[in-house]
C-alpha cells in the first residue's frame, strides 16, 4: 500500500459499488466505521463483508454488513507487519497476506490462514526466488498487494514499480494453500504499462479474475494522477490467469482516488474500496454499470 503519509486516516474509507443491469437493494455508497480508516483487503461473504486495514493496525479482521455497520472483530494469533489482501478458498478458510514490501527489504513474507469456525490461525511462510532483502531494484525483492485462492493454491500478483530490468511487469506466483515454508513458484508475467496492481478477486463460477490497478504517474511526487482501472481476465487456461482475455475499464474520478480492494458480491456486482487522500479529503464512491 501507499506509505502512511499518503493517507488521510481521519476520514473513513468508502466503497464503490460496481453494478450490472438490475439494481438490488444495496446502497450506492458505504461509509465504513472509523476503525476501518485504511481498509486494504476485502472478502464478501453473503451479506457480510470481511476487511483488514493496511500497515499500522494489529492482526485484526473486521466484519461489517453490506451497509458498513461493524458486526465483529476477530483477532488472529499472528503478527501484523503489512497486511495487503485477504481472500477465501472454496471451503471458506480465510488467507491474510502479510506481504507488503515497499522498500524491498523483507527477506520473508507471511500468509495467515484463519478458520472463523474454530478461531485457529496457521502460518504460511514463503520467499520469492532470489529474494534477499536488498531493495526493490534487485530481482526477487517483490512487493505484493493482491492474492486469490484456487484449487489448493494461493496465487499472488506482484506490484512492481522499481524493478530496473522489467518495470511494470506483474508477476504471478503461486504456493500451496497449506501451513509450511515455501519458495513461491513463478507462473507467468504480464506487462501493464505504468500500471500497478493493488487488489484481486476471483469469480470461480464464471472463471473471471478481477484486478484493481492505478496509474503510477505522480502529482507533486506523491499522488497517482492517472486513471485507476478494473482489469478483467477471462477464458484463461488451468489457473494461468495471464493467458486469458484482458479487458480494462477506467475507474477515474476528477481527483485521484486510491482503489485498494475488490470483492465479489454475486454474478452482477462487485464492491471496490477506495481510501481517502490528502487531496480528496473525503473519500468518494459511486455505482457504475459493469
Q: Tens digit of pLDDT for each residue in 17-63? A: 665 444 457 777 788 888 887 888 999 999 999 999 988 899 999 99
Cell, residue 44: 464478501
Sheet holding 121-127, edge to edge: 85-88, 94-98, 109-114, 121-127, 180-183
94, pLDDT greater than 80: yes
Among the ranges given (170-174, 213-217, 256-260, 273-277), the one the predictor scored with the smallest mean pLDDT: 273-277
In the prediction, which pLDDT does 223 show? 53
Spatial separation of the C-alpha atoms in residues 69 and 182, rounded to whole Å:
38
Average pLDDT over residues 84-109: 96
In the prediction, which pLDDT does 131 show? 92
Average pLDDT over residues 185-189: 97
Q: What is the mean pLDDT of the chain?
A: 83
DSSP letters spanning the chain: ---GGGS-TTS--EEEEEE-SS--S--SEEEPPGGGTTEEEEEEETTEEEEEE-BTB-SEEEEEETT--EEEEEE-SS--S---EEEE-TT--EEEEE---TTS--S-EEEEEE-TTT--EEEEEEE-TT--SS-TTSTT---EEEEEEETTEEEEEE--SS-SSSTTEEEEEEEESSSEEEEPEEEEEEE-TTEEEEEEEEETTTTEEEEEEEE--EETTTEE-S--EEEEEES-BTTBGGGSEEEEEE---SS--EEEEEEE-SSS-EEEEEE--SSSSS----EEE-
Residue pair 23/268 in contact by the 8 Å Cβ criterion:
no
- Structural domain that includes position 133: 4-289
Q: Tens digit of pLDDT for each residue in 201-251? A: 999 999 999 999 887 665 555 555 557 889 999 999 999 999 999 999 887
Long-range CB contacts (within 8 A, 24+) of 165-171: 165/139, 168/192, 168/193, 168/194, 168/195, 168/196, 168/216, 170/196, 170/197, 170/242, 171/142
Q: Nearest CA to 123 among 180, 85, 164?
A: 180
Higher pLDDT, 176 or 102: 176
Q: Nearest CA to 177 among 231, 239, 130?
A: 239
In the prediction, which pLDDT does 112 show? 99
Number of domains within the chain: 1
In the prediction, which pLDDT does 3 show? 35
Higher pLDDT, 161 or 255: 161
Q: Nearest CA to 76 among 44, 111, 127?
A: 111
State the pLDDT confidence band at 283, using cuts at 50, 70 and 90. Answer: very low
Task: List all residues 6 or more positions away from 7 whose beta carbon is below 8 Å from its beta carbon.
Answer: 38, 54, 258, 275, 276, 277
Percent of residues, the chain, with pLDDT higher than 90:
53
In the prediction, which pLDDT does 280 show? 41
Spatial separation of the C-alpha atoms in residues 198 and 88, rounded to whole Å:
17
Average pLDDT over residues 74-93: 97
Output the domain CATH number for residue 109: 2.120.10
Percent of residues, the chain, with pLDDT higher than 70:
78
198, pLDDT greater than 70: yes
The pTM of this model reads 0.88
In the prediction, which pLDDT does 2 show? 33
Among the ranges given (3-7, 41-45, 50-54, 153-157), the one the predictor scored with the smallest mean pLDDT: 3-7
Amino acid at each position: 500500500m501507499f506509505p502512511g503519509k499518503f493517507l488521510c486516516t481521519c476520514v473513513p474509507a468508502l466503497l464503490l459499488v460496481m453494478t450490472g443491469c438490475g439494481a438490488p437493494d444495496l446502497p450506492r455508497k458505504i461509509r465504513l466505521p472509523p476503525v476501518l480508516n485504511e481498509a486494504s483487503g476485502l472478502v464478501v461473504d453473503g451479506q457480510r463483508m470481511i476487511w483488514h486495514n493496511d500497515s499500522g493496525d494489529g492482526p485484526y479482521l473486521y466484519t461489517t454488513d453490506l451497509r458498513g455497520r461493524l458486526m465483529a472483530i476477530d483477532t488472529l494469533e499472528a503478527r501484523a507487519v503489512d497486511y495487503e489482501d485477504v481472500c477465501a478458498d472454496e471451503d471458506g478458510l480465510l488467507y491474510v497476506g502479510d506481504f507488503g514490501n515497499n522498500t524491498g527489504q523483507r527477506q520473508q513474507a507471511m500468509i495467515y490462514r484463519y478458520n472463523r469456525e474454530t478461531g485457529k490461525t496457521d502460518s504460511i511462510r514463503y520467499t520469492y526466488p532470489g529474494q534477499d532483502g536488498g531493495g526493490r531494484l534487485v530481482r526477487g525483492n517483490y512487493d505484493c498487494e493482491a492474492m486469490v485462492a484456487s484449487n489448493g493454491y494461493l496465487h499472488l500478483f506482484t506490484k512492481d514499480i522499481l524493478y530496473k530490468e522489467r518495470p511494470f511487469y506483474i508477476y504471478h506466483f503461486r504456493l500451496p494453500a497449506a501451513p509450511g515454508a515455501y519458495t513461491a513458484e513463478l507462473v507467468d508475467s504480464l506487462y501493464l504499462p505504468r500500471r500497478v496492481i493493488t487488489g484481486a478477486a476471483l469469480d470461480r463460477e464464471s472463471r473471471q479474475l478481477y484486478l484493481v490497478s492505478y496509474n503510477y504517474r505522480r502529482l507533486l511526487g506523491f499522488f497517482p494522477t492517472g486513471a485507476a482501472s478494473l482489469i478483467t481476465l477471462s477464458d484463461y487456461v488451468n489457473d494461468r490467469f495471464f493467458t486469458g482475455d484482458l479487458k480494462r475499464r477506467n475507474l477515474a474520478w476528477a481527483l485521484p482516488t486510491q482503489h485498494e480492494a475488490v470483492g465479489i458480491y454475486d454474478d452482477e456486482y462487485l464492491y471496490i474500496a477506495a481510501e481517502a487522500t490528502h487531496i480528496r479529503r473525503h473519500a468518494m464512491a459511486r455505482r457504475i454499470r459493469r
